[in-house]
A and B are shown apart, each in its own frame.
Chain A
Amino acid sequence: MEVVESGRGELIQPPDIDGFREWNRQNKPKALVNKVMTEQEAIARFVHDGDYIGTELYGTVRCPMSLARELVRQGKKGLRIAGQGVLELDLWLAAGLVKKLDITYIGLEVYGISPSLRRAVESGQVETTVEWSNAAIAWRFKAAAMGVPFIPVRSMLGSDTFNYSAAKVVRCPFTGQKVCLLPALILDVGMIHVHRADIYGNAQIEGISGFAFELSRASKRLIISTEEIIPTEEIRRYPDRTIIPYYLVDAVVEAPFGSHPGEMVYLYERDEELIKEWVEMSKEPETTQEYLDRYVYGVKSHAEYLELIGKERLAHLKDIVARR
């Protein structure tokens, strides 16, 4: 196959598909074993300095925010990140944990560009920034999920997004057309927040599935946080709803309001006031530190975080959804 063009970006996590197969054979128990643990244990056991990490979905929507905060508390350093993110990656950037970034979008959505991203990238604190489109990152997970080294797509062609990526343009061996090849992205650690899971990790999601299917299958270690832990009989009653089967999962962490201040569809609304608080406080380094001190370092666990937010406020977020 003729390589016509190569993006100049670093391939931050080169795909090793045979290694991935071997890993999946050796390190992922196929027996049903209880994987329930605290967020402290899950992050301490499975996340290491320098790891390549991905989260799903993003910041304000069904995002593993309790895990993201715990990772900051444990101060994991030199992380390499796949970046479709809002609040979760903002926290990691603000805490200075990110060394390399495969970026598609990091921003504050309706509230504009991310001051934390600006500071981290413009200062050179993030050493490497490699560009991709949203679908490109998801498709890179898809390639890993398929167990193949790359996937051909028609995004990114002709653009600087391609020029500053680690993708390649080749001539299709069947049609002669130019296509963009995306390298598979195998994560050291993936994190996903779900509506419900059993103790083994069989997990179900409601609403849009984002890229949970692909990311869960592209992760060497997968930490699931869940609004509730349900009996396996419930899973067996509706097996078609299981988007993540147990054998993909390494840790199951019970985390009610685990997406807070983001939303969880059909369960609770986003906490607009707290999101705005981050938008305001993240503008300057000093106030960013104040936010981290208060909401992240100032609590020992997700349970303490929820106490800090307060029962009434959380109940209100549930009520908004229930009254609809």
Chain B
Amino acid sequence: METSAYNPTELMICIASRLMEDGTTAFIGTGIPMLAASLAQKMHAPNLIPIFEFGGTGAILERLPLAVGEQRTFNKALAASGICDIVETAQRGFIEYGFLGGAQIDPYGNLNSTVIGDHDHPKVRLPGSGGANDVGSHCWQTIIIMRHDRRRFVPQVDFITTPGYLTGPGAREEAGLAPGTGPYRVVSNLALLGFHEESKRMTLLAVHPGVTVEQVVENTGFELIIPDHMEANEPPTPEELRILREEVDKERLYI
């Protein structure tokens, strides 16, 4: 097979895209999730139903949305409603996957997109929850897409904007969140990670092409669970890269 050069963003998009199943509902946030959903629709999941928080349901992602409320989020869509309807739909258990990013993540998949430093005297004021808390609270399985380094993969996030498994097994349910929900995968530029069934701690599942386990460990600010058997992710195929570059993000806003 031809090996094409690709950048870390393209790799993350392709890996995230492959997690999107045909015929499922996926709550899509701004940025990489939009590119991944568009790529998935053009590759293996023509009937992926993207759901956007301000009302778009089932859009055909021909052109890349620039915002979660703009017209491309309901391009040739099945329905155009509003934010209450969409998040209530998630709250009733209709949405399988939620795709999120963040500035920090901890071993339990808790996410921070609110502040770096103290809330009332922040070092950096970030945008805030937006729909992230809603997505992470209500979708059955949350998939997080983030760059992998020690500033982002931290032992404790400065602020839990969006709940992961909180302090561990049973903590989500104890807080009142719906049983059976929570973080499912983390897609980084180095690896694909999951969460241990019992301890709910982040677990390495597969490294990306050319990446070693040591590199992943070095770039993670907490102890990862490393299984004995390790998968290796397939690199982006020439077809994935072609569609991504020529159709999904022609203007190269992200890639």
Q: Taking the nearest CB of chain B, how far is it from the CB of A139, in angstroms?
A: 7
Residue from the list B125, B129, B138, B161 in contact with A117, Cβ < 8 A: B125
CB–CB A161/B31 < 8 A? no
Closest to B55 in A: A208
Cβ 8 A contact of B127, one of A117, A154, A159, A263: A117
Q: If A135-B87, A208-B55 touch, does A270 touch B129 (CB 8 Å cutoff)?
A: no
CB-CB nearest in chain B for A135: B87
By the criterion CB–CB under 8 Å, are B161 and A160 in contact? yes
Number of chain A residues whose Cβ lies closer than 8 Å to a Cβ of chain B: 58
A105 and B129 contacting across the interface, CB-CB below 8 Å: yes
A272 → chain B, closest Cβ, in Å? 8
Q: Are A57 and B133 in contact (CB under 8 A)?
A: no
Q: Is the CB of B55 within 8 A of A60?
A: no
CB of B154 closer than 8 Å to a CB of A: no
A contacts with B: majority SS: mixed
Tell whether A118 pairs with B137 under 8 Å between CB atoms, given A110-B67, A164-B119, A208-B69. no
Is A114 in contact with chain B by the CB < 8 A criterion? yes
| CA gap between A60 and B114 in the complex, in Å | 21
A60, B70: Cβ atoms under 8 Å? yes
Closest CB-CB distance, B254 to chain A, in whole Å?
8
Picked from B30, B124, B128, B137, the residue with its CB within 8 Å of the CB of A122 is: B124
Does A153 interact with chain B (Cβ within 8 Å)? yes
* CB-based contact A154/B133 at 8 Å: no
Give residues in A with beta carbon < 8 Å to B. Answer: 57-58, 60-62, 83-84, 86, 103-107, 109-110, 113-114, 117-118, 121-122, 129, 131-136, 138-139, 142, 153-161, 164, 169, 177-180, 207-214, 263, 265-266, 270
B residues apposed to A, CB below 8 Å = 30-31, 53-56, 66-71, 73-74, 80-84, 87, 91, 114, 119-120, 122-134, 137-138, 159-163, 166, 171-172, 174-178, 253-254
